[in-house]
Structure 1
């Protein structure tokens, strides 16, 4: 008898569209949940659907010139996948995407991902305690096999985040413009900007990155500013070969450096949450000095006034840049602060009958951030639409679970955004929490039962009332500025109401009394009372006083590096490591 193995054959009726977990989005959030399932030993019965052509989420979508992260590289990475070879203190889009691709390969995620695939709707099926999700194939060849199908899963995870769907400004005549129009999140690299007359609408973090780059090649650049931003120096620098070697071969030092960066971010929280504090005063002074240094003397007095905000630092994201202000001094760059009236075929018209003739219109207008899950249609208990549930503003318990949506978890959801630290610190905590829920659903299914788990409505109400009360006194709620953190009515739906560590601690256990649990496996879960796990502890023991002194002394984010070096010297003298 031959020992030769027969080739595997496709079997009719095999379950290609059923899984324990369906993850929507292959960005950092979706990847983190999948990896956490693998690391916890929860198996690989998950499917990730991604509407783009690559992993990376926003770092695959946003490819505009100058695109980079405003969180320092060694903190903007997964705790369990450090990268000692970051080339700069602040990484660019290409390097971050390369990092995420490497991580996806290491954990063999590609075999679970269906690219060029989007979710159009998801509906909870109560009799089976499963989600029935309508999947649409957007790739032309894939669509030849069938444009649409239904995925059945015991658990549904949203990893679409807050920076997903571009927001286009509501300006009369925008669609009539005959020149080239492009959103920064959908950049067209095939179009040559050389010697073009360009107008850019928006002057937030994205604009501050792209403006210095396109100003180098265009004939003219007009910046249409609605409100100015607080801006501090970035002080970006190349990381030397020696430092890379230290980070690679002395991981203790690398982890300590990361801890100090995290510590610095945690202290920076005080700036945005306590607008009358010494922290906020220090940052405001730093920003004003940065403006004065970049645009000195009487020549730029009017421009400095134009660029000085009238709201508390942190109401909008504080921008870090070394080249934005200097770019404004170029002969081919002008700032227009008069409100836009309309857009015609060739011009942008502002109040006072002034016209700006343009070849290109760039929209640096951000994303539809307060419309979570948009445009996916989600129907939960009794067919209720999440759009109806969130009509007055999105909310979720700990930013992850919703009473009307059983066996569901979302990452980077309502009130989990940060203005002071790395969002990856929040995402990792959320992944640990959501995979704990997944484990309970899996365990019940493996025992031939099923469960539905959702937070109690009263628990969410109390939670939301608490964080909204805290947010109401923060810089985020300052009525003098409009930001993507809040709805048109002024409700802050996007930002977290505390520092990262309190969130990590709060999401490192589940009290099952806070949840409505149904199904045959419910009693087994309720017997536990509470499930706890170890959070990822990365902060150091550096005191608040030391960090504040570092901020005042260094006057920028590089204070973390100053504290780091001084600490190492002290540790060396004490032989403490």
Structure 2
């Protein structure tokens, strides 16, 4: 197993439930937690309600907020994994550099960046889609005289009080950390390439009585989780281009966004800058109650001209204006479409997975690729969601993988490889459906050129149904010689 976040640890549990216990988890960081370990910026929180953003086998009646913050989610993950005995499988400080399939013995050789090796009959990658921070290659970037860091690599040793801060990017992380630092800084310059849709976040602190009810009456927690899931599926249906597209839900969200903007930004010029130029849902829909008020503060400036270069004194925009800064924070997202990078993955006949994916990543069910036997992905291509909790998708993938691996172990360590025709048919279906979705109407981090390689085009329930049982006719199972 590569990666010890929600996906990797959940897959370990699924394997153990199937009797597969000879599992090692290789984690590059010093601890478990994935994105919730890495993203420690101010105000870091989830945009999926807490009752749904949890493992189905570790429901938590003691969330303190409807939308939990990073420290609480990380603590939940650690405690739940610890209770299940999953942490004993984890080896931290191991950055996997390569995975090579050795045909003579039907095993994978996994090598770390420091030269250590492991041999395995099966490899499961659970590195996530949002694990590789991206900083744009701007002219002069290395010449900046002050601290500069990505939001996912927050410099807690940098005191922002009284500083002139430049923030590049206005995505899901920036809308959280900008309000989190706005009261401390002397001035804040926010560079926006594309205005996001931001709707109200119905957040609230849970009263102690709330937790007591959940603890004593678990069915109430189950009901809240179920209702939240049902509502999120309605959003998924709208985004996929179903009957709700342009209908009541998206219309309501557009009205909520418009009213939210008008109420919170009295200045007409600033409101004009905050008008998205694409269909709602094409890029990630964001939830915040304090993003617009932060931008409306007197010491905050929103710049919509592109960034041209970085100089020692600050950031220069395409109009030639220099915006002086003491600190630069990159809120520029992640390499979401560069799946499994920077690892080298070599399959049958020396096939390089990244060459195989040269025109966009693809995998059957988002899990497995022809020519790479016994290699499985959790949160692989076309399994991301525009709405709902990704944990539900990853649990379904983990169960499918566990069923396959357990069967192979029963066969004495056989090999399973998806048939090319099955994989091609699945990919053709995905791309045809995705071209009807709202995500096809603009450029975003969901896309890799002409392909939408990140997102699942349907409901979570549909995906669960498709992976609930392994269709063995789609796989070729061969014994190891």
In which range does the TM-score fall when normalised by the shorter chain?
over 0.9
| Aligned position for 1:254 | 221
Separation in structure 2 between the aligned mates of residue 182 and residue 336 of structure 1, nearest angstrom: 19
SS of 1:205's equivalent? coil
2:165 corresponds to which of 198, 201, 221:
198
Separation in structure 1 between the aligned mates of residue 155 and residue 318 of structure 2, nearest angstrom: 30
Separation in structure 2 between the aligned mates of residue 188 and residue 353 of structure 1, nearest angstrom: 29
Matches within 5 A, 1:330-369: 330-369=297-336
Gaps of 5+ in 1: 1-22, 137-146, 522-577
| Aligned position for 2:446 | 485
Structure (1 or 2) with the larger CA radius of gyration: 1
| Aligned position for 1:423 | 390
Provide Cα deviations, 1:430-482, integer angstroms capped at 9, x if missing partner: 0100001110121122xxxx321111111111111111111111111113xx3
Separation in structure 2 between the aligned mates of residue 24 and residue 353 of structure 1, nearest angstrom: 45
Provide Cα deviations, 1:509-528, integer angstroms capped at 9, x if missing partner: 1221111222269xxxxxxx
Matches within 5 A, 1:165-180: 165-180=132-147
| Alignment pair present for 1:437 and 2:404 | yes
- Asked whether the 8 Å contact 1:27–1:58 carries over to 2, the reply is yes
| Alignment pair present for 1:159 and 2:126 | yes
Separation in structure 1 between the aligned mates of residue 37 and residue 405 of structure 2, nearest angstrom: 28
| Aligned position for 1:294 | 264
- Asked whether the 8 Å contact 1:154–1:441 carries over to 2, the reply is no
2:362 corresponds to which of 395, 402, 405:
395
| Alignment pair present for 1:468 and 2:438 | no
The Cα shift of 1:284 comes to 1.1
Provide Cα deviations, 1:136-178, integer angstroms capped at 9, x if missing partner: 3xxxxxxxxxx42221111100010101111111221111111
Matches within 5 A, 1:59-70: 59-70=36-47
| Aligned position for 1:130 | 107
| Alignment pair present for 1:106 and 2:66 | no
- Asked whether the 8 Å contact 2:20–2:406 carries over to 1, the reply is no
- Asked whether the 8 Å contact 1:271–1:313 carries over to 2, the reply is no
| Alignment pair present for 1:324 and 2:302 | no
The Cα shift of 1:232 comes to 0.7
Separation in structure 2 between the aligned mates of residue 269 and residue 114 of structure 1, nearest angstrom: 36
Separation in structure 2 between the aligned mates of residue 229 and residue 473 of structure 1, nearest angstrom: 22
**Could you say what the CA RMSD is over the residues aligned between the two structures, in angstroms?**
1.2
- Asked whether the 8 Å contact 2:434–2:457 carries over to 1, the reply is yes
| Aligned position for 1:384 | 351
With over 3 angstroms needed to count, the CA separation of the structure-2 counterparts of 1:176 and 1:520, relative to structure 1, is: closer
The Cα shift of 1:333 comes to 0.8
| Alignment pair present for 1:283 and 2:253 | yes
Matches within 5 A, 1:206-285: 206-274=173-241, 275-285=245-255
Matches within 5 A, 1:540-559: none
| Aligned position for 2:456 | 496
Provide Cα deviations, 1:59-107, integer angstroms capped at 9, x if missing partner: 0011111100000111000011001000000000000000011012112
- Asked whether the 8 Å contact 1:37–1:43 carries over to 2, the reply is yes
The Cα shift of 1:364 comes to 0.6
1:76 corresponds to which of 34, 53, 73:
53
SS of 1:189's equivalent? coil
The Cα shift of 1:207 comes to 0.3
Provide Cα deviations, 1:24-79, integer angstroms capped at 9, x if missing partner: 00011110011112233x14210001001111111001111110000011100001
- Asked whether the 8 Å contact 2:261–2:292 carries over to 1, the reply is yes
- Asked whether the 8 Å contact 2:30–2:92 carries over to 1, the reply is yes
| Aligned position for 1:148 | 115
Provide Cα deviations, 1:373-394, integer angstroms capped at 9, x if missing partner: 0001000011100011000000
Separation in structure 1 between the aligned mates of residue 197 and residue 51 of structure 2, nearest angstrom: 24
SS of 1:185's equivalent? helix
Using CA pairs under 8 Å that are at least 6 residues apart, name the structure with larger relative contact order, 1 or 2: 2
SS of 1:374's equivalent? coil
TM-score after normalising by structure 1: 0.81
- Asked whether the 8 Å contact 1:30–1:159 carries over to 2, the reply is yes
SS of 2:175's equivalent? helix
TM-score after normalising by structure 2: 0.97
Separation in structure 2 between the aligned mates of residue 271 and residue 222 of structure 1, nearest angstrom: 35
SS of 1:46's equivalent? coil
Separation in structure 2 between the aligned mates of residue 249 and residue 295 of structure 1, nearest angstrom: 44
- Asked whether the 8 Å contact 1:273–1:473 carries over to 2, the reply is yes
Separation in structure 2 between the aligned mates of residue 466 and residue 319 of structure 1, nearest angstrom: 28
SS of 2:371's equivalent? coil
